[in-house]
Amino acid sequence: MSEYIVDRLGQLGDGIIDTPNGEIFAPFTLPGEHIEGNVENGRVNSPKIIKPVSDRVKPACKHFKSCGGCSLQHASDTVISDWKIRKTQDALSQVNLHPEFRPIINSKAGSRRRATFAAKRTKKGALVGFHGRASDVIIEISECPISDPILLSGMPAFSQFAILGSSRKAVLRISATVSGNSLDVKIDNGKKLSATEISKFAQICNQFKILRLMWNDDVIAQSNPPSQKMGLADVIPPSGAFLQATKSGEAALIKTVLEIIGPSKRVVDLFAGCGTFALPISSKATVHALEGDVNMIAALDSGWRAAGGLHDIKSETRDLFRRPLMPDEFKKIDAIVIDPPRAGAVSQVVEIAKANVGRIAFVSCNPATFARDASILCNNGYNLDWVQIIDQFLWNPHIELVAQFTK
Ligand SMILES: C[S@@+](CC[C@H](N)C(=O)[O-])C[C@H]1O[C@@H](n2cnc3c(N)ncnc32)[C@H](O)[C@@H]1O
C-alpha cells in the first residue's frame, strides 16, 4: 500500500492526486487528505483516510457510496459550493472570460422533486431503488435525504407495479415527479397489461396518490390532472417531461431571469420547455416561446390559454439546432431567454450574435458548452456581466447557472 495526499476534486467529484505519471483517482476523498491504498488502473479503489481534513462531514444517507445518486456527501457545503464555482470559472477562463460570480444559491435536502427509480421482480417480491455507482445493480433504498418525501411515498406502489407488471428479468425504469401533494409517474420497460391488470393498477394509483400513470407509451390511469404552477398558469406537462429539479431552484432561476430581462416588453424564450420562464414573463411582457417538443409546447399553450389575462405568448415547435431563430426574427425583441440542453446551442447562439438584442438571460446546466457559447457572444460585442450558480443538485457534480449578457 502507498500513501498519497489528495490534490483536488475532479470533474465528477472524485479526489485526484497529480503525479508525474498522470492523475490518480481516489473516490470519496477530499483535497488535502492523506490516504493510503493500492492503485489499479489509475484508481485507488478503497482508499483508507489516514488524515482527514476538517471539511470532511458525516454522510447524510446510509446508502451513500453504494447508491449512484450522490458522490459528495462526505464534503461540507462550502467545499462543494467553492468547487462548483471554480469548475465554472475554469471553463470560462479557458475562453478568456473572467466574469463576476454572485454568491451561490443552494437547494436544501428533501427538495428534489423528480427522480428515476429502478425496480424489478424478485423471488420474494420486488426490489426498488436506484442504480449503484457506475453499475446496473439496483441498490434497494430505505431513505433518500435529497428527495422530496412525496417521491419516496410512491415506493410501495412501485414495488407492486414491479411484482404485477414486469417480466422475469426486466428492470422497470420509473420516472416520478411531485405534483402538489401527489405524484405523476411514467414507467418504461413494463410488460403488456390485461384489462384486469390495468384496473388493479388504477386502484394502486388511488391508494398511493398517483395522479397519472403512464405505462410504456400509454396513460393507463389518471384521476386529477398532474398540473404544475408556472407563473399564474397551471400547466399539465407531458408525462416524464423536463422540469427544473427543485421548486426553490426553479423559483430562484425565474427571479434571476426576470431581473435580467428587466422592463423588456417583447421577449424570446428559446428552449422554452413547458413554459417555466415564458409563463411568468407573460405577466409583464409578450413572449415568443420556442421548443423542440411538440407536446411540451402544447402544454405551455393550453396553460396560457386557460389562465387568461396574461400578455400574448406565441408558441412555436421548432428544432433550434437545425432551424435556429434567424437575426431578422429578433427584430423588435428587447430580451432573449435561452436555456438549452447540455449540448448547448452553438448554431442558435451564432444567429443571436448577428442580431441586435440588448439583453440575454442565459440558463445552462453545462459549464463547458456554456463557456463555448458565451465566447461566441462576447466575441460579437456582448459583455458577460455576471454569473449566478443556482445549485439544484445537492451532493452531486451537476451545475445549473444563469448569466447576464448585455450590449
Ligand atoms: C434544459 S431544458 C429547459 C426547458 C425550460 N426552459 C425549463 O426551464 O423548464 C431544455 C429544453 O430544450 C428542449 N430541446 C432539446 N433539443 C432541442 C432542439 N434541438 N430544439 C428545440 N428544443 C430542444 C428540450 O425538450 C427541453 O425542453
Residues 114-140: tens digit of each pLDDT:
999 999 999 999 999 999 987 889 999
Question: pLDDT (tens digit, 9 = 90+) per residue, 170-215?
Answer: 999 999 999 999 999 999 999 999 999 999 999 999 999 999 999 9
The pLDDT, as a whole number, for residue 135 is 85
pLDDT in tens, 300-356: 999 999 999 999 999 999 999 999 999 999 999 999 999 999 999 999 999 999 999
Taken in order of first residue, the domains within the chain and their CATH numbers are: 1-56 (2.40.50.140), 82-108+243-406 (3.40.50.150), 114-222 (2.40.50.1070)
Predicted confidence at residue 84, as pLDDT, reads: 96
For residues 11 and 51, the answer to whether their CB atoms sit within 8 Å is: no
In 3D, which of 114, 119, 149, 143 has the Cα closest to residue 226?
114
CA distance 176 to 115: 6
289 lines ligand 1 (CB under 6 A): no
The pairs formed by 347-350 with CB atoms below 8 angstroms and a separation of 24 or more are: 347/320, 347/321, 347/322, 348/270, 348/320, 348/321, 348/324, 349/373, 349/376, 349/377, 350/324, 350/376
61 assigned to active site: no
Ligand 1 atom closest to Cα of 322?
A: 19
Tell whether ligand 1 has an atom less than 6 A from the beta carbon of residue 148: no
Q: Establish whether residue 277 lines the binding site of ligand 1, counting it when its CB lies within 6 angstroms of any ligand atom.
A: yes
The bridge status of strand 359-364 relative to strand 335-338 is: parallel
- Check pocket membership of 242 for ligand 1, CB cut-off 6 A: yes
Q: What is the pLDDT of residue 230?
A: 98
Q: Which residue's CA lies nearest to atom 22 of ligand 1?
A: 292
Query: pLDDT band at 243, cuts 50/70/90?
Result: very high
Residue 43 pLDDT: 94
First to last CA, the chain: 57
pLDDT for position 134: 79
Which amino acid, one-letter code, is at 160?
Q
pLDDT band with cut points at 50, 70 and 90 for residue 364 = very high
Q: What is the pLDDT of residues 45-80, one digit of tens each?
A: 889 999 999 999 999 999 998 998 999 999 999 999
Count how many residues are written for the chain. Answer: 407
Q: Determine if residue 182 is left, alpha or beta; phi over 0 gives left, psi from -120 to 50 gives alpha, anything else beta.
A: beta
The residue contributing the CA closest to ligand 1 atom 6 is 272
pLDDT, one tens digit per residue, over 254-311 is: 999 999 999 999 999 999 999 999 999 999 999 999 999 999 999 999 999 999 999 9
Of ligand 1's listed atoms, the one at least distance from the Cα of 320 is 20
Q: Is the CB of 241 under 6 A from ligand 1?
A: no
Atom 23 of ligand 1 has which residue's CA nearest to it? 292
**Residue with CA nearest ligand 1 atom 21:** 292
pLDDT at residue number 70: 92
Nearest CA to ligand 1 atom 13: 271
CA of 272 relative to ligand 1 center, distance in Å: 6
Question: How many angstroms separate the most distant Cα atoms in the chain?
Answer: 69
C-alpha grid cell, residue 135? 453499475
CA neighbours within 13 Å on the CB side: how many for 67? 26
Quote the ligand 1 centre to 320 CA distance (angstroms): 9
Task: Report the percent of the chain where pLDDT is more than 90.
Answer: 96
Give yes or no for a contact between 299 and 238, defined as CB atoms under 8 angstroms apart: yes
